[in-house]
Chain A
């Protein structure tokens, strides 16, 4: 029931764009995105809800295709500070309280 993320790793130059994908085999109620720096706890980036509502901040955007049970995170004009591992997390209709994280996408932004 864990969502599947792709790609597993991305290397960018500063200013380049990246897209990270997350897909689930279960009907999704919401998708969450988190970023984790090495040795630190995950930090919230974005929540996407069924119906299109989004909660988030910063220069990062995302989309949620409910029918395809997929979400994508868009990182535009990447900065060095964007480096880290990005995780999607999902809440499913069967049980809102359970939470499943994907295996992560490691992003490395170079000067």
Chain B
């Protein structure tokens, strides 16, 4: 099983460029999440989607947009990248309330 797949694995952007991080899960999970993890820090929730067709802000949503394209896919878009968005981005999914979150391998993003 593939689980949660994130693309790309690495990306370097210049300030002001835009990009979309892709996430897909094949476990038929309802909920999906986007986190960022700065060096030596914990994971902070950017956006989440409790079910297909819904999205909500997490702790640090500024500068990001998301789309829950269907039940499988949840993308994160940076419209105008800033150096402060340099981080590792993790996508996760879970089946329902109080359930295990399964994480993708992460996208390492550098904004110069």
A residues in contact (CB < 8 Å) with B: 1-2, 29-30, 32, 34, 40-44, 47, 49, 55, 87, 89, 91, 96-104
Q: Which residues of B contact A102 (CB under 8 A)?
A: 42
- Expressed in whole angstroms, the Cα–Cα distance for A34 and B42 within the complex equals 11
Query: Using Cβ atoms and an 8 Å threshold, which residues of chain A touch B44?
Result: 2, 101
Name 20 interchain pairs, CB-CB below 8 A, sorted by A.
Answer: A1-B59, A2-B42, A29-B98, A41-B90, A42-B101, A44-B102, A47-B100, A55-B100, A87-B42, A87-B43, A91-B98, A97-B31, A97-B48, A97-B56, A97-B97, A98-B48, A99-B33, A99-B101, A101-B42, A104-B42
Which residues of B are at the interface with A, using a C-beta cutoff of 8 A? 31, 33, 35, 41-45, 48, 50, 56, 58-59, 90, 97-106
Interface of B is mostly: loop
Q: Do most interface residues of chain A lie in helix, strand or loop, or is the interface mixed? A: strand
